[in-house]
Amino acid sequence: MDRRNFLTLAAAAIAAARQDRAPAIITRDGERPGVPCGVATGDVTAGQAIVWSRSDRPARLIVEYSTTPSFANTRRVVGPSALEDTDFTARVNLTGLPAGQRISYRVLFQDLTDLRRFSVPVGGAFQTPAAARTPGGSGARDVTFAFSGDCVGQGWGIDPARGGIRLYDAMRRAQPDVFIHLGDTIYADQPLESEVVLDEGSIWRNVVTEAKSRVAQTLDDYRGCHRYNLQDEHMRRFNADVSQVALWDDHEVRDNWFPTQRLESDPRYDVKSVALLAARAKRAFLEYLPLRINPIESERIYRAWRHGPMLEIFALDMRSYRGANSTNRQAALTCRSASSCRTPAVPSRRWQTKTTVRRSAASWRLHVCCGSSAIDESATSCGSPRTSTTPPRTITARRARASPSSIRSGSSWRGRCTPAPSARTRWIGPLVPR
C-alpha cells in the first residue's frame, strides 16, 4: 500500500468513527479488536482523568468523551498503541475537563494490522470534582467515596452460579464519586481450587484459569491474576461507572512480603528472590490499574491530590520501602515505622490545607509513636486481622473544619470534626469481606 492510499483509508476510518458508523468497512464483531477487560477511570483530579482499557491484539487506543450521555460536542483523544510489552493495555490522560460534571466516554481500539477495523465502542462515565469553594460556600455538593480491598482472596474466586463478585454491584448502586482500593487487588500467592465445600455442605465452584492454578512467579502469571478478576461482569461494570484510586498491599506479590526477603524454605516458588517477584508484580499492577504514571518515577505508587474542595486523598505505598519483618517474639514492644527509608512511602505534601476531609488511603491502620510509647509490631509489620463480614453501611460527615489528625484509615476513624452546615462528605465501607 502506498502513502496516498494509506492516508485515504485512515481519513475514511476517522470520519466514519466520528459519525458512529462501522469505520470504513462493515466487519463481523469476531474480526474486530476485542475489549475483554472493559474500561476504567482513575486518579481523577481537577481537570484531569486517566482512562484505561485493554485490547486483545496490537491496536491503538482512542477515547471520545462528552459532558452529555448523547455525546453532543464530542471530543476525541488518540492515545498510544497497546502492544505486547504492556499486555495490550493502554491509557490516556484527559485534560481540560470541566469541574463538577458527569463525563461520559467511550473507548475503541483501531487494529494495527488492518487500520480499517475498529472495536465496538465500550462506554463509561465518571464524576469530576467540584470547583474550589466560592465565598459563602455556593456551589457546594455532597461527595461520596467508597473504600474496600482484598479481591478474590482466601480461595474464593468467581462462582457464576452464585452471581460472581456481586459486592461490586452493591458499591456501584451506592453511586460513589470515587472508589479507594486499599490493596490486595489480586491474590497472586493463593491459587484457586475448582471446588470448595462449604460448612453446610454446598459447593463453591470457582472458575479456574491457568494463572490462578498456581502461585504467580512470572510477569504473565501476575498479569493473569488481574485478567482473572476482570472476567467478572460486576467488576467491569463498576470500573466503567466509578473512578478509582488504587494502591497495593502484600498479596499483589505474596503474603507479608518485604524487598529483602528470600523464599528458600517455600517449595512452591522456583524464584527465591522476592525483589524479583515484586518487580514483576509491580509491573503488572501498574499495567492493569488506572493510575497516572509519574513522569519522573514511573514505578511510584504513592501519590496525593485533592478531589475538589471537600476531599483530599493521600494514597500511601506501605510495601515497597519497608524493612524486614520481625518474628513478633520480642520480649518488649518497640516502635517501628512502615519504612526503613524514613517515609518515602508517604507523599511529602503537608497538612496545610483547608480541605474538609483528608483521607489517608493505607493498607494498614496508621499509628504514631510519641515519646516512650510503642506500638505492637503486628499492627504494622504483619497487618491486623481483617475478617469483617459487616454488611455495607454508609456514614455521613457534615462539612467541617478537620484537624490534621483527622485521618480515615481502613474502617477506623480518628480525629475530631466540628459540625457545620452545607455540603457533606460520605464514605461507604468496607463492602468486601476482609
Do the beta carbons of residue 39 and residue 145 sit within 8 Å?
no
Average pLDDT over residues 298-320: 88
Q: What per-residue confidence (pLDDT) applies to 173?
A: 95
Do the beta carbons of residue 238 and residue 40 sit within 8 Å?
no
In whole angstroms, what is the distance from residue 245 CA to residue 49 CA? 11
pLDDT band at 332 (very low <50, low <70, confident <90, very high): low
Do the beta carbons of residue 156 and residue 251 sit within 8 Å?
no
DSSP for 34-76 reads P-TT-EEEEEEETTEEEEEEE-SSSEEEEEEEESSTT-TT-EE
Cβ neighbourhood burial of 187 (10 Å; 0-12, 13-18, 19+): buried
Most confident residue range from 19-23, 124-128, 381-385: 124-128
**Residue among 359, 353, 346 nearest 406 (CA):** 359
pLDDT, one tens digit per residue, over 221-247 is 999 999 999 999 999 999 999 999 999
Average pLDDT over residues 289-305: 93
pLDDT, one tens digit per residue, over 130-147 is 887 655 555 567 888 899
Question: What is the largest distance, in Å, between two alpha-carbon atoms of the chain?
Answer: 79
CATH of 3-128, one of 2.60.40.380, 1.20.910.10, 3.30.1200.10, 3.20.20.30: 2.60.40.380
pLDDT band at 312 (very low <50, low <70, confident <90, very high): confident
Q: What per-residue confidence (pLDDT) applies to 142?
A: 80
Q: Which three cell numbers stand for residue 393?
A: 453501611
Phi and psi, residue 44, nearest 5°:
-80, 125
Q: Which three cell numbers stand for residue 93?
A: 490522560
pLDDT at 165 over 90: yes
CA distances from 413 to 154, 310, 379, 427 (A): 27, 17, 16, 11
Do the beta carbons of residue 292 and residue 94 sit within 8 Å?
no
State the DSSP code for 118. Answer: B
Average pLDDT over residues 340-361: 51
pLDDT, one tens digit per residue, over 166-217 is 999 999 999 999 999 999 999 999 999 999 999 999 999 999 999 999 999 9
Q: What per-residue confidence (pLDDT) applies to 93?
A: 97
3-state DSSP of 262-290: ECCCCCCCCCCEHHHHHHHHHHHHHHHCC
Provide CB contacts within 8 A for 96, sequence distance 6+: 47
In whole angstroms, what is the distance from residue 54 CA to residue 337 CA? 38
- Provide, for the chain, the percentages of residues in helix, strand and coil under a 3-state DSSP scheme, each rounded to the nearest 5: 20, 25, 55
Tallying the residues shown for the chain, one arrives at: 434
pLDDT at 386 over 50: no
Instruction: Using DSSP, state whether 409 is helix, strand or coil.
Output: strand
- Between strands 75-82 and 407-409, the pairing is unpaired
pLDDT at 69 over 50: yes
**Is pLDDT larger for residue 392 or for residue 357?**
357
User: Around Cβ 358, how many Cβ atoms within 10 Å?
Assistant: 21
**Is pLDDT larger for residue 347 or for residue 276?**
276
Q: Which three cell numbers stand for residue 44?
A: 481523577
In whole angstroms, what is the distance from residue 67 CA to residue 78 CA? 18
Domain ranges of the chain: 3-128, 137-428
| Lowest mean pLDDT across 62-71, 139-148, 221-230, 409-418 | 409-418
Q: What per-residue confidence (pLDDT) applies to 189?
A: 97
Q: What per-residue confidence (pLDDT) applies to 218?
A: 98
* DSSP H or E run through 204: strand 203-205
Q: What per-residue confidence (pLDDT) applies to 175?
A: 93
pLDDT at 343 over 50: no
**Residue among 326, 156, 179 nearest 258 (CA):** 326
pLDDT band at 98 (very low <50, low <70, confident <90, very high): very high
In whole angstroms, what is the distance from residue 275 CA to residue 258 CA? 8
pLDDT band at 249 (very low <50, low <70, confident <90, very high): very high
CA distances from 82 to 23, 35, 85, 109 (A): 19, 11, 8, 9
State the DSSP code for 421. Answer: E
Average pLDDT over residues 323-346: 58
**Residue among 141, 64, 206 nearest 423 (CA):** 141
Mean of all residue pLDDT scores within the chain: 78
Average pLDDT over residues 409-422: 31
Provide CB contacts within 8 A for 372, sequence distance 6+: none
pLDDT at 418 over 60: no
Q: What per-residue confidence (pLDDT) applies to 373?
A: 36
